[in-house]
Structure 1
């Protein structure tokens, strides 16, 4: 069985809780390096998960470690820069949502992946949750009749002052792109 070398950029909540914690237990994946612009945080994550290679510069990480897959968990405003460097370094990409800060950026990213013949995937983790899979089956089987309207009330985490969160700052229409994307994915 092939073991894929994975490098994760962004050691915040999504990078650690949704990605690194999962990959550590997967036989077919080896997390070879982590990167974050916060030296203290990247050192803590590396120590906690036994990842020896820790970086604060994603370009340096990509050139030195040569991962098969680059997992991008940075704030959306940084996705394009990390994406471009990762594709040019020969990596396939798993990208946290929202994938880009604009439609133009997204189109450029898609074009670049085609040019380099690399696969890209946006992480839509809600798609695979037990309740979502069950609800989808119920609708597909017609057990509740024809669905003609859906109303969603979503109580989610959010900084009271979004300027306090590096991740949320600069994200236009943040509810739609951060949380609403889950509901439109179905």
Structure 2
């Protein structure tokens, strides 16, 4: 294969502003052959803008009528599972936007479908591809931090409830900040920790601000139909003995407009990832290590270019269905713990 023929499922902002433009940066290696959306006029509009030959009202029709090698799944979380499995069964490699799915059972079905089809399934955790994360991983792989035994994860906005899309609709998304922005930092931490298996998960969610009118730094949201949490707090104990604490919020009374951070603690050193700074004890001295230069890169572009290269016979994607299943277990366990008031054990 010298060119990847790509189909896009979903014609919303993530497809229009992220996936399609970044596929196009790959030049002759990629041909975006078709796009499908239940709002077919939107699909036709995007197709016209980007000169995509075919637009469909259903992905089933697209998969049946157009020969494709790969598919990007860019629909609300509720529809990830069926779209992904259909594309895999049609013989396509799949890049599905995060989170993997709505439930653990769905993530398991997606993983099994990928194995049965013999095709790649990867998820849109683009923070993995940042320079900070890749530099930190090189240090971790070289043993500079030793055994990472604890992590702290934050994805907190002061007033960042999205004023567009379906981000505040639990039925379509499965949750709020935890499943939307929290999964990015959670995945980053797990990736750097070697993706350990969870043993015990404890969680609590709060809905204090989203259901009433207020200042919106990301547009006005539909507070009358707000059905997700404002904030989620979780703690994970892993089977290897490590621990992780998490805070994710769309709206919280904090100083900074937004904090996206992963902090790691190992027995030979620690690190904050955004921006990257490492902490060690060397020669009887406590040292802070800050890179003099960190290349600025587009994580989305790196992610999609890596996916294209995988489809063309390069290295497999760095995010696997098995990792997707682990993160789905943790996210759903935090929500289940919040609902039941009990710790969830695996």
TM, length-normalised to structure 1:
0.85
Distance 1:130 1:61, change over 3 A: same
Render the CA deviation track for 1:7-49: whole Å, top value 9, x for unaligned.
0101111112221011112131110011111122112211111
Distance (Å, rounded) in 2 between the aligned partners of 1:157 and 1:133: 28
3-state DSSP class of the match of 1:44?
A: helix
Q: Distance in 2 between matches of 1:95 and 1:168?
A: 20
Provide the residue aligned with 2:109 in structure 1: 108
Comparing 107-116 with 124-133, which one deviates more in the overlay? 124-133
Per-residue CA distance 1:33-85 (angstroms, 9 max, x = gap): 11111122112211111112111111000011121001101001011111121
1:159 aligned to 2:162? yes
CA distance in 2 between partners of 1:166 and 1:126 (Å): 22
Separation in structure 1 between the aligned mates of residue 53 and residue 167 of structure 2, nearest angstrom: 26
Q: Which of the residues 187, 192, 213 maps onto 1:185?
A: 187
Do the aligned residues in 1 keep the contact of 2:96 with 2:124 (CA within 8 Å)?
A: yes
Query: Which is helix-richer, 1 or 2?
Result: 1
SS at match of 1:30: strand
Q: Distance in 1 between matches of 2:20 and 2:121?
A: 18
* Structure 1 residues 74-114: Cα deviation after superposition (integer angstroms, max 9, x where no partner): 00101111112112211111100011110001101111111
CA contact (8 A) 1:5 1:30 kept: yes
Per-residue deviation at 1:165? 3.4
The structural deviation recorded for 1:127 is 1.4
8 Å CA contact 2:155–2:181 kept in 1: the answer is no
Q: What is the correspondence of 1:61-76 to structure 2 with a 5 Å cutoff? A: 61-76=62-77
Bigger strand fraction: 2
Matches of 2:39 and 2:53, distance apart in 1 = 16
What aligned pairs does 1:140-151 form with structure 2 within 5 A after superposition? 142=144, 150=152
| Alpha carbons of structure 1 residues 70 and 168: separation in structure 2 relative to 1, 3 Å | farther
Q: Is it true that 1:173 corresponds to 2:196 in the alignment?
A: no
Query: How many residues get paired?
Result: 181
Larger Rg belongs to: 2
Give 1:109-148 correspondences, 5 Å limit: 109-134=110-135, 142=144
Give, in whole Å, the separation in 2 of the partners of 1:153 and 1:183: 7
Higher RCO (CA < 8 A, seq sep 6+): 2
User: What secondary structure is seen at the aligned counterpart in 2 of 1:8?
Assistant: strand
SS at match of 2:154: coil
2:31 pairs with 1:33? no
CA-based RMSD: 2.4
- Distance (whole Å) between structure 1 residues aligned to residue 156 and residue 98 of structure 2: 18
SS state of the match for residue 91, structure 2? coil
C-alpha separation between the residues in 2 aligned to 1:173 and 1:116? 30
Contact 1:8–1:71 (Cα < 8 Å) also in 2: yes
- SS where residue 97 of structure 1 aligns? coil
Distance of 1:113 and 1:6 partners within structure 2: 17
Which stretch shows the higher mean deviation, 169-178 or 66-75? 169-178
Supply the distance in 1 between the matched residues of 2:168 and 2:4 (Cα, whole angstroms).
31
- Structure 2 partner of 1:97: 98
